[in-house]
Structure formats: structure tokens, C-alpha cells
Amino acid sequence: MGILGALTGLRLLRRILRMLLWLAVAVVVYLVVTGVQVWLTSRRYDPRPAGAILVMGAAQYNGVPSPDLAARLDEALVLWRSGDARTVMVTGGKESADRFTEAEASARYLEARGVGTGAVLEATGRDTWQSIDLAAPQLLSRGDRTVLVVTDPFHEYRSMAIGTQLGLVTYPTPTRTSPIRGWSTVPYFAKEAIGVALGRIIGYDHLSWLHDQVGVCMS
């Protein structure tokens, strides 16, 4: 009985290890497929007439957009000047010590370059989900359901997915002048692949909760 029990236990252990191996393979495949989707979306650029241009926030310094945020805003200016949309929704909150929100810095930047004050709307969320969650009701109430999403290429898929979930019709118009390029984009794409993979499973709103409560960085 002892030998029989040992053999049974060994077979059970092998079964468990086999299941864990297949689970690990499935997780890796899922992440790779998601990463490919994020990368393919980053390469799309599809401007068209729309209700609004939705610009995702990035760092600002005392009211001055960081180079990354400025690149996003410059892309929004190209779209706005070409007449693709007459409204620009800028997003992003601020850290506790900041004087300006990312949205405020963005609005100042656009207005200084000829975009009328009435053409700029603001949503001051602390991360991607919260920003679009605040922006979507404003846009939908104005009838601006179709939006051109402007952000860094690696951030495009998640931003569009959240916008779609919140009732917007989204089209990709990632900035083409981002200072984050080449091999330096690899960790950003990896983070986005993980963020999208998790967001699909637990919901992007719960991913935002993890960002707030646990410090998981998926802004």
C-alpha cells in the first residue's frame, strides 16, 4: 500500500505540474497576443471628421507640458487645424504639490497656439480610466460621440478600449513626434500589454482601483 500510495501521489503531482505548465503557456500566449494587438494599434493612424479630439494627459511642470505631453498636444493641433474636429478634450489631474493639472497645462498650451477657449474642454482624472470616465459624459452630452484619440502610440490601444467601453466611438491618431521612441518604448509596450491583459479580465475600472489603492502603476 505504501508503494501504491507513493505512485498515486507521484502521478497526481505530475498531473498538477502538467496543468501548471499548460496554464503558464496559456498566460504567456495571452500576453504575447495582447502585446501584438497593442503594437499593431500603435501603428494605426486614422484621422477623419469627428465630434472631438481626446488628448490623454502626461506630465506637466508648473503649467508647462512635458515634451511627451507637448507632442500629444502638437498632434491635436494638427488635427484641429485640419478641421477634423472643432472641440479638443484635454485630460489629466495633478500631484499633491502641483499648481496646475495636466488638463490645465494642456488647455493653456492649446489656447496660446490659437485654439479658442470655448473649443477646449477639461477632464481631470488621475489615470486613463478616470480621465476618460470624466470626459465621456461631457462629450456625449454635446453629441460628440466620435472621437480621435491622441496619445503615445503604445498607449493608444488601452485608451481606445476604455473610450469604447464608456460609449465613445474611437479612432486612433497617436502622436507621430513622441520623444519616447526606439528601444526606450519596450518597457512602455510591456506595461501596456500587461495593463490591457488585466483590464480585459478584471475591468479597466478595477485596474484604476488597483492604481489608487495598491499603487499598481497603470496610469
How many Å apart are CA 169 and CA 117, to the nearest integer?
25
> At 65, is the pLDDT very low, low, confident or very high (cuts 50, 70, 90)?
very high
Grid coordinates given for 105: 497645462
Angle at 127 between CA 26 and CA 66, to 5 degrees: 115
- Amino acid identity of residue 214, one-letter, is V
Helices marked H in 46-185 — which ranges?
67-81, 102-111, 128-141, 156-165
Condensed to tens digits (0 to 9), the pLDDT of residues 78-135 reads 999 999 999 999 999 988 788 999 999 999 999 999 999 899 999 999 999 999 999 9
How many Å apart are CA 160 and CA 56, to the nearest integer?
11
- The CATH class of the 52-213 domain is alpha beta
Q: Are 141 and 52 in contact (CB under 8 A)?
A: no
How many Å apart are CA 60 and CA 183, to the nearest integer?
24
Residue 214: pLDDT above 60?
no
Element (H, E) at 171: strand 169-172
Q: Tally Cβ neighbours within 10 Å of residue 117.
A: 8
